[in-house]
Amino acid sequence: MSALREAADRIARIGRLPVPNPDRKLETEKAAEAIRDRLAEGQTRGPSESWDAFLTRIGLING
Tell me the residue range of the domain where 11 lies.
2-43
Rg (CA), the chain: 20
pLDDT of residue 45: 60
**pLDDT band at residue 47 under the 50/70/90 scheme:** low
How far is 17 from 51, CA to CA, in rounded Å? 43
Mean per-residue pLDDT of the chain: 79
CB atoms within 10 A of CB 34: 10
Q: How many domains does the chain have?
A: 1
pLDDT of residue 44: 56
Would you say residue 52 has pLDDT above 80? yes
Q: Is 35 left (phi over 0), alpha (psi -120 to 50) or beta?
A: alpha
The reply to whether 6 falls in a domain is yes
The reply to whether 48 falls in a domain is no
Q: Cα 30 to the chain's mean position, in Å?
A: 7
The reply to whether 52 falls in a domain is no
The reply to whether 56 falls in a domain is no
**pLDDT band at residue 17 under the 50/70/90 scheme:** low
